[in-house]
Amino acid sequence: MSEVEDSFLVRSYDFPKNATVVDIAGGMGGLLLAVLRSNPTLTGILFDREAVLSRSRLSELNDDSRWQLQNGDFFVSCPLADIYLLKYIAMDWPDAQATKILKCIRQAMHENSKLLIMEPIIPPGNTWYGGNEIDLLLLSSFDGGKTRDEEELSILLGKADLKLNRVITTGCYVSIAEVVIV
């Protein structure tokens, strides 16, 4: 399922040439692998805990010069990069912890960096949306995790001196919230 979502996400965003992309808590690196395969001028950093990094798939790229693994904790600090990927992370945490993660990313960002939050974003109005079922799952599985609408996301971002630049629909229920420095 994740590989299918990743293909929608990669096709929906125009990554700048020669940029460094870091996948925060990127797991085995499937999303970063898809980004690097589709964008040959990019380099990438898979940032996660050491135990997770040991299962990285990035060697499948067959070009070890374009990626690196970096052990770390997104509550403490994040690597320097041009583009930050945050897929299914903010939605797992209540506002206080999500704000802390966003502040760590913000500290690492430079003036032109962008943060791409990739998760369901509830659209305005009272219409059916596939992400609503995910919201119910989060409410029952994670203490305080939830899908957010654009207004809730904007408020959360503001607490970390970030702002929502735009929301990109992708053709699946996962959207890309492009975030910039205030």
**Residue 81 belongs to a domain with what CATH number?**
3.40.50.150
Cα 6–Cα 176–Cα 131 angle in degrees, nearest 5: 85
Mean pLDDT of 145-163: 94
Closest CA to 31 of 56, 66, 65: 56
Q: What is the pLDDT of residue 167?
A: 95
Contact (CB, 8 A) for 167 and 175: yes
Residue 131 has pLDDT above 70, yes or no: no
The residues facing 85 across adjacent strands are 23, 116
Residue 145 has pLDDT above 90, yes or no: no
User: Could you give the number of structural domains in the chain?
Assistant: 1
Q: Would you place residue 141 in the very low, low, confident or very high pLDDT band (cuts 50, 70, 90)? A: low
Supply the range of the domain harboring residue 158. Answer: 2-181
Rounded distance, CA 54 to CA 35, Å? 20
Q: What is the pLDDT of residue 30?
A: 97
Read off the DSSP letter of residue 23: E
Q: What is the pLDDT of residue 173?
A: 83
Contact partners, residue 173, CB within 8 Å, separation at least 6: 120, 129, 130, 131, 134
Mean pLDDT of 134-154: 69
Q: Which of 17-31, 43-57, 126-140 has the lowest mean pLDDT?
A: 126-140
Q: Which of 1-5, 102-106, 109-113, 140-144 has the lowest mean pLDDT?
A: 140-144
Give the percent of the chain with pLDDT over 70: 88
Q: What is the pLDDT of residue 140?
A: 46
Mean pLDDT of 20-47: 98
Mean pLDDT of 71-96: 96
For 105-121, write each residue's pLDDT tens digit.
999 999 999 999 999 99
Residue 142 has pLDDT above 60, yes or no: no
Closest CA to 107 of 68, 80, 85, 86: 80
Write phi, then psi, for 31 (nearest 5 degrees). -65, -45
